[in-house]
Structure 1
Amino acid sequence: MKHNIDEQRLLVKAKRKVRRVQIFYLHLAFYIIVVALLLFNLYIIEEGPYKNNIIALNLSILVAWTVFIIIHGLNVFKEKRIFKKSWEDKKVQEFLEKENDVKTTTWE
């Protein structure tokens, strides 16, 4: 009975992770579309009394949304690290072996 409950919890947890990744990819798709439209808007803008205001608004939207998309991505993929613990342990062991080789091969 307990084994079945644990499997159900793991399934619910996995579904939540998949849903979070889906939402992030939708957020990223909308971000790319809006960035393209804002850049096009910056390209076609003509001289006028409100040109500087429009440029400032467009750039502030780009900067703010870029920060939010980075934070969102970091929250979604926080378990996925580039340098995993096993990699770190392997590198530490490699450096220790090099230290030992240097100590044994040098002549004093």
Structure 2
Amino acid sequence: MGRYRKRLLENFQDENFNPDTRYELAYKRVKRIKGFYIHLLIYVLVNAFIIVSSFNRSVLGTEVFFRWETFSTALFWGIGLVAHGMSVFGRDLFFGADWEERKIKEFMDKDKSQKWE
């Protein structure tokens, strides 16, 4: 767990930390997570509509399906969606909350077992 996150958790457990402030921080976090999931839902719906309508036009013979224009919106909006997810979930999105500590312990245990004493 990172130093900043550890310090933040210690502040949550501190008896001097106002319960109203804790509620406010939790409320803001829930709102950010909810905003990300709404963004994800709109991304899926809009891009599904674009791709399905392009596919339908290609089946009718008026257009070619595999064109840059068909998938460019999904690609660039997807990059923005990943950035939004990283801002909401942070590093925990890929590595988990205590990934660093687990990896350090794993390497230390590995080094310990390889030494001849």
3-state DSSP of counterpart to 1:104: coil
1:3-22 matches, within 5 Å, as 3=16, 6-22=18-34
Q: How many residues align?
A: 99
Offset of residue 84 of structure 1: 4.8
**Counterpart in 2 of 1:26?**
38
Give percent identity, aligned residues only. 24
Indicate how the Cα distance of structure 1 residues 104 and 21 shifts in structure 2: closer, same or farther if over 3 A, else same. Answer: same
Report the residue type matching 2:42 in the other structure: F
Tell me how far apart the structure 2 counterparts of residues 66 and 24 of structure 1 sit (CA, whole Å). 12
Question: Is there any run of 5+ residues in structure 1 with no aligned partner, and where?
Answer: none
Is 1:36 paired with 2:48? Answer: yes
The amino acid across from 1:74 in the alignment is: M
Deviations 1:64-91 (A, max 9, x none): 2111111111111015254357443343
TM-score by length of 2: 0.66
Greater mean deviation of Cα atoms: 31-40 or 95-104:
95-104
CA drift at 1:45: 1.7
- What TM-score comes out, normalization by structure 1 length? 0.70
Residue equivalent to 1:76: 88
**Letter of the aligned partner of 1:27 in structure 2?**
H
- Greater C-alpha radius of gyration: 1
2:115 match: 103
